[in-house]
Chain A
Amino acid sequence: MHEWALAEAVVAAASQTAEKEGLAEVTEVRVKVGELQQIELDIFEFALSQLKTDRFRNAKFKIEIAKAELKCRACGHDWAFDREKVDENAAEAMHFVPEVAHAYIKCPKCGSPDFAVTEGRGVWLQTVKGVK
């Protein structure tokens, strides 16, 4: 249920952007969420709908899930994160703190835990549209 905490963050950041840009009403908020975050999309969307303030009453939240891409720093191998290849407990831990992926995932080519998450990590507020 930490989707609620992340949804609160999105609404707080979108409110700050709307305030800065002088938007009286927000019509659309685009959010990108990394696959590594493994959020439950239904819960995240429900939380966003519940957390809407008056300024967001007609706003649509458009959520894009970015596939997680990993790159080994030791051998340069690129690979895609595959949830099915991760143990259940490890996946649960990564759901809360995606960086613990470094404790559970190794490069499939050379076995190194030293890899970069080149895509698909974090939560990003992309755009906030509305009327002034």
Chain B
Amino acid sequence: MTDPRISVISERLKEVNRVIAVSSGKGGVGKSLVASTLALTLAKKGFKVGLFDLDFTSPSTHTILGIRGIQPKEDKGIVPPSVHGLKYMSIVYYSGEEATPLRGLDVSNALIELLAITRWSELDFLVLDMPPGIGDATLDLVRLIEKIEFLIVTTPSRLAFETVRKLAGLLKELGVPVVGVVENMKMNLSKTIQQQTRKLDLAYLGAIPYDTKVEQAIGNVNKLLNTVLADKAKNLATKIVSKLCINKP
């Protein structure tokens, strides 16, 4: 027996130019904030952007973007609604505020189901907010999405960077492209992460300083776009666009 849903995933993503998985080796590095702000920034630049929250057990991008009370449309599948200029998809449309404890096989099944039934239409970028680590979601996405590229988020902590090394090593082994590494919540002028990133033969895409205003901006996109995080996300978006050789619309 074969799972037919897998056969249709590439068809669903055929009009998506680039799929960028915002990932990290460890949780708590600000991955969802970076993914959300990057997606908003790319949309502000005039690109067609989708944001897909793949952290099924702990989704948070809907909270960051203040999304409530909307549902996808049904049209021979599900069509993600447009919110803040993004096509936005998350399991919270279906799980609501309930805790959704999922084991590995359930994560894989939910991922395959949503990739098979979601109609993204034409996008320049589909930004994926990944769960942390190198577990089922990472392995499944590498298997299921041929055009996937990773953007790795770390903090200045050696603890976070040690896990980046593992993630980068795995992606290298699997032949998956890495757009680069972003150093989030930076609090000093240390160049350690920059140097270590280059030792891994990866591009260091810049640092985002620790910004106390971000917490107050959660749930309010206008405030979020006025944070230092958003300001740095503009540079990040510019670097990503030029690195991916995508022409501005």
CB within 8 Å for A99 and B11 given contacts A2-B78, A5-B77, A12-B4: no
CB within 8 Å for A100 and B95 given contacts A5-B116, A124-B4: yes
CB within 8 Å for A99 and B4 given contacts A2-B78, A5-B116, A12-B11: no
Question: Contact string, B166-184, partner A, CB cutoff 8 A, digits 1/0?
Answer: 0000000000000000000
A6 to B77, CA, bound (A): 8
Question: Is A81 an interface residue, CB under 8 A from the partner?
Answer: no
- Provide 13 A-B residue pairs closer than 8 Å at the C-beta atoms, listed in order of the A residue: A1-B74, A1-B77, A2-B74, A2-B77, A6-B5, A9-B6, A9-B7, A93-B94, A97-B95, A99-B56, A99-B110, A100-B94, A125-B3
Contact of A97 (CB < 8 Å), options: B2, B6, B77, B94: B94
Question: Is A13 an interface residue, CB under 8 A from the partner?
Answer: yes
Question: Is A126 an interface residue, CB under 8 A from the partner?
Answer: yes
Question: Is B102 an interface residue, CB under 8 A from the partner?
Answer: yes
Q: Does A93 lie within 8 Å of B96, measured CB to CB?
A: yes
A124 to B101, CA, bound (A): 24
Chain A residues, Cβ within 8 Å of B157: none
Question: Is A17 an interface residue, CB under 8 A from the partner?
Answer: yes
Q: Does B95 lie within 8 Å of A125, measured CB to CB?
A: no
A16 to B10, CA, bound (A): 13
Chain B residues, Cβ within 8 Å of A123: 3-5
Question: Is B215 an interface residue, CB under 8 A from the partner?
Answer: no
CB within 8 Å for A16 and B77 given contacts A97-B91, A103-B100, A113-B99: no
Chain B residues, Cβ within 8 Å of A104: 98
How far in angstroms is the closest Cβ of chain B from A26?
14
Question: Is B117 an interface residue, CB under 8 A from the partner?
Answer: yes
Q: Does B100 lie within 8 Å of A124, measured CB to CB?
A: no
Chain A positions within 8 Å of B, measured between CB atoms, are 1-2, 4-6, 8-10, 12-14, 16-17, 31-32, 47, 93-94, 96-100, 102-104, 113-114, 116-117, 121-126
Contact of A122 (CB < 8 Å), options: B7, B11, B91, B109: B109
Q: Does B117 lie within 8 Å of A96, measured CB to CB?
A: yes
A4 to B75, CA, bound (A): 8
Question: Is B76 an interface residue, CB under 8 A from the partner?
Answer: yes
A70 to B204, CA, bound (A): 47
Chain A residues, Cβ within 8 Å of B5: 6, 9, 122-123
A116 to B104, CA, bound (A): 11
Chain B residues, Cβ within 8 Å of A17: 2
Shortest 6 CB-CB distances between A and B: which pairs?
A13-B4, A5-B77, A103-B98, A4-B76, A93-B94, A13-B7
